[in-house]
Amino acid sequence: MGLMGKLLDVLFGGGRNAIVETAGIFRENAEKGADREAAMRAQALAQYAAEFGQPRVGLFDRVIDGLNRLPRPILAFGTIGLFVTAMSDPVWFAGRMQGIALVPEPMWWLMGAIISFYFGARHQAKAQDFQSSVLQTAGMAGEVRARVEALDALHVPLPLEAVNPAAPDRNAALEEWRAKQ
């Protein structure tokens, strides 16, 4: 065995690959990293499915959902009511706005934080409900596909006369074009 053979045995011998092992110190193995990422995502989806898989159907849940739906309409209709009041009784409206002007700035910051957290939490809850419904729908894809294939197997194409009995047997434009050719 020559010098090159001994050098190759040092680098790649004994079932080892010194180049890959050395490169692995400086750079992550992409395939193993993808495997770890897929396993992590699968665990997260399993946890999500366990947490949000059960529908909320109790009376308490329905009452709380109803109460959670109230603030946005109240804020919207309240703002519209302020505009109507400002137009119908400007003096009364100005008196109320003078009272609001006396509210200290930290109270406004607190009000903004409370409203931001409320709408942020509401948005997150709705997004999670949407993702849950997407997962349920995706889980039914195989069943739906099997049903569509079963229906397609039952499909029998109808002849043109059955679809449109008044359709002529010939195409005059096509016959004219063929005659010119």
Q: What is the pLDDT of residues 117-176, one digit of tens each?
A: 877 877 787 888 888 888 888 788 888 888 888 888 887 776 655 556 555 567 788 888
User: How much is the average pLDDT of 75-99?
Assistant: 91
Q: How far apart are CA 35 and CA 47, in angstroms?
A: 18
pLDDT at 1: 57
φ/ψ region of 103 (left if φ > 0, alpha if ψ in -120 to 50, else beta) reads beta
Q: What is the pLDDT of residues 46-69, one digit of tens each?
A: 888 887 777 777 888 888 888 888
Sign of the dihedral through C-alpha 31, 35, 38, 44: negative
- Whole-number mean pLDDT of the chain? 81
pLDDT at 149: 87
132 in Cβ contact with 52 (< 8 Å):
yes
User: How much is the average pLDDT of 84-95?
Assistant: 92
Sign of the dihedral through C-alpha 45, 47, 48, 52: positive
Q: What is the DSSP letter of 167?
A: S
Q: How far apart are CA 30 and CA 162, in angstroms?
A: 60
167 in Cβ contact with 160 (< 8 Å):
yes
